[in-house]
Structure 1
């Protein structure tokens, strides 16, 4: 596309946001250089990452004009002259990050907004004094340049390499949006350590969920909120790590997703690299498939019975439109499914979302710990539908009021 895309008048560059750092061919910033040359995963030097901060994020403030720089792959160094006020997102891990920093109302776009608004509010119900409304936002999966000009966002919390993968965007298009409207600042291929498009310029680095969240917090000059939430998470992880049973005493588990548990069933692994497992990997679950099934594989009930998990985790089980009681009844009445240990023992439990941000991560760490290890962390209530169940205060693994206060700015 031409620079003005046929509109005749090209908008002027924003005065308050500008790119810094290296430019590839005069176009889009391609990202950070690092120690990952030659790595077959095209990621970090060892192909793995933790979910905590490694201390490499930079935030520099220029004393004379108040500008500051934040760095993250694949965009590299991005310089801001003021804190962004309007926020474009595509995937929910970025939208949840904005929400966690008290900027949920600043989000103007996201993938399937009504669906995820309904899901997120199942959890937000348990945060006193916190509200969230993403209904009616622009559904941004198949994003267009014209719509981005219309939204006029201060920052695009979206991975430009992921947008490039749509096949309808060039790096020149991406650079045009970043230069004329607001910068790109997002990372999505860290979800499963996917390889970016082969013709994407430059290297690509992977981050844990909370590593990425810290960088986003610095974009909004909200390091204090990040630090406070990270402290809550660190305490939660310490509680879990202190009481994890030995491997020999852990149940086998699977995570599945299906709108029809007697039809096509998607199986997901629980410990593979990437932030999609940020709530299961720290619990060190035992894979009922023993590594024989890759994440996203379609399986049938016979395959599940062969694996015979002790615990079955159901993606989408926390949606307001899902009835876990009905799902359990369907499985119990099916001749094949009824033979599974998880079904017979009543250990078929709901899950929320894999593209989680920090707030959902806290809730999902707690719920999954209880679902897998009730003797250590307290039993997960028999859940059929409705909001995240009320857990007695003495059995909560993190402080809801503290999280609510942080979101609302009471650090």
Structure 2
């Protein structure tokens, strides 16, 4: 098949070293794998061995070689590649400039670690033709979500799988969204780190995953051992806006899914009613009615965002100034919800300090990123250790 003719589907596949094993059902659709066990078949596999990995919704995939060029759609998958030392191999990302800036605010604290995603393909609504052109070796993207885009159907998903490279991603676990069509009822949800473990298997990086997962487990254990009683925990709301006085969106921070992997373990209280839908637009009157003890500003770590200006706007507004979080000077920045493992480590630490300064030390007042310097004895994880793991020196 000619690479210049992306509509041709009858020729032999271009990625013959990638095979679906038991993941294809009648009609050529990808099967779900709800209820299947973890499929790490070769815990100490080498590049000369076939790696078999199972994850919903794609089913079981066999990789005879380690993928080199990596397509991602959402930044939690790009963050997984980054954590495995493969950040520079990412060929596509949703909002490249935005998330490149976000990651750079955190890598500032990881010696010898950097990444540049500013010029990769913007893949929020990827075209099939562009996936042929990118010629990636794996698509870390969720076909059950991609197929919901207007320009995609299940035939397109299968065509790219056969002629370019396999799909291997899970995104509807973000907030336990319901799949549509052929995946309805066959979708399994994973935590951020459960999914990261499976992605690490694809790249034969089980040891690197284990090293990072150990750090994550230590942070969670530290947090759990130091949490105050429930009645002493703050109510927390997350907001984002280009201009808070014109329009803003509010998010809950305790709902299921990996979007809250950095806040839910801290067990904050939800200031909104049970009927509130995370991601809804909200005004200052409604935010005052909820009256959170802490406000997190999503995107507040961006280099062009001034937290000082945001706080001043809230403090000078007749309604917003009455919100408990504003009165108590507890309006803090946050980085990203589609965060990946490394940002998750940082954001667990920053959230712990923002919610519980007496237990974990206070969050330094800052005017946005980069991630501030924190004294070694107040850090929840060793920056050099994480940098070494990313760089393969562990």
TM-score (norm. length: structure 1): 0.91
- Number of positions where the alignment pairs a residue of Structure 1 with one of Structure 2: 388
2:202 maps to what in 1? 219
Among 281, 290, 312, the alignment partner of 1:307 is 290
For residues 316 and 72 of structure 1, what CA distance do their matches in structure 2 show?
30
1:42-53 residue pairs with structure 2 within 5 A?
Answer: none
- Could you tell me how far 1:263 is from its partner in structure 2? 2.2
Query: Matched residues in 2 for 1:281 and 1:65: separation?
Result: 40
2:246 corresponds to 1:245: no
166-175 vs 334-343, which moves further: 166-175
Q: Does 2:29 match 1:34?
A: no
1:343–1:202: structure 2 CA closer, same or farther, 3 Å change rule? closer
User: For structure 1, which runs of at least 5 residues remain unmatched after alignment?
Assistant: 36-55
Q: Is the 8 A contact 2:145 2:171 kept in 1?
A: yes
Match of 1:52 in 2: none
Q: What is the aligned partner in structure 2 of residue 270 from structure 1?
A: 253
Say if 1:160 and 1:174, in contact at 8 Å, map to a contact too.
yes
| Residue in structure 2 matched with residue 155 of structure 1 by the alignment | 138
Checking the alignment, whether the CA contact within 8 Å between 2:74 and 2:141 is kept in structure 1 is: yes
Mapped to 1, the partners of 2:9 and 2:171 lie a distance apart of: 34
Measured against aligned partners, the alpha-carbon deviations of 1:14-54 in whole angstroms (never above 9, x if no partner) come to 2321211141224132221428xxxxxxxxxxxxxxxxxxx
1:87 to 60, 70, 94: 70
1:225 and 1:391, CA in 2 relative to 1: closer, same or farther beyond 3 A? same
Corresponding position of 1:165: 148
Partner of 2:40: 59
1:136 aligns to 2:119 (yes or no): yes
Partner Cα separation in structure 2 for residue 285 and residue 192 of structure 1:
17
What residue is the counterpart of 2:17 in the other structure? Answer: 16
Instruction: Verify the 8 A CA contact 1:19 1:179 in the aligned structure 2.
Output: no
Deviation at 1:293, TM superposition (A): 2.1
Shift of 1:386: 3.0
Match of 1:112 among 89, 95, 102: 95
For residue 309 of structure 1, report the CA deviation from its aligned partner.
Answer: 1.3
Structure 1 vs Structure 2 CA RMSD = 1.9
User: What residue is the counterpart of 1:51 in the other structure?
Assistant: none
Q: Deviations over 1:326-381 (max 9, x none)?
A: 00001111111111111111110001111111011001100001001000000001
- The offset of 1:259, in angstroms, is 1.4
Residue 167 of structure 1 and its aligned partner are, at CA, apart by 2.8
User: Which structure 2 residue ranges, 5 or more long, are not aligned?
Assistant: none
Q: CA deviation at 1:11?
A: 6.2
Q: Which residue of 2 aligns with 1:72?
A: 55
Partner-residue secondary structure (3-state), 2:25: coil
Alignment check: 8 A CA contact 1:24 1:201 kept? no
Q: Deviations along 1:183-207, whole A, 9 cap, x unmatched?
A: 1000000001000113447711110
Segment of structure 1 superposing worse, 184-193 or 262-271: 262-271
CA contact (8 A) 1:21 1:29 kept: no
1:195 is matched with 178
**1:65 deviation in Å?**
6.3
Compute the displacement of 1:119 (Å): 0.8
> Which of 329, 348, 367 pairs up with 1:365?
348
On the 8 A contact 1:30/1:201 being kept in 2, the answer is no
CA distance in 2, matches of 1:386, 1:209: 24
**Aligned CA distance change for structure 1 residues 19 and 408 (closer, same or farther; 3 Å):** same
Q: Distance in 1 between matches of 2:46 and 2:373?
A: 48
Q: State the secondary structure of the residue aligned to 2:197.
A: helix
Of 68-77 and 292-301, more deviation after overlay is shown by 292-301
User: Normalising by structure 2, what TM-score?
Assistant: 0.94
Q: Is the 8 A contact 1:87 1:155 kept in 2?
A: yes
In structure 2, C-alpha distance between the alignment counterparts of 1:215 and 1:64, rounded to whole Å: 16
Distance 1:229 1:256 in 2: 29
Separation in structure 2 between the aligned mates of residue 389 and residue 74 of structure 1, nearest angstrom = 39
CA distance in 2, matches of 1:158, 1:382: 36
Aligned mates of 1:6, 1:278 — CA distance in 2? 40
Is 1:396 matched with 2:379?
yes
Contact 2:46 2:204 (8 Å CA) reproduced: no
Cα distance 1:322–1:11, how it changes in 2: closer, same or farther (>3 A)? farther
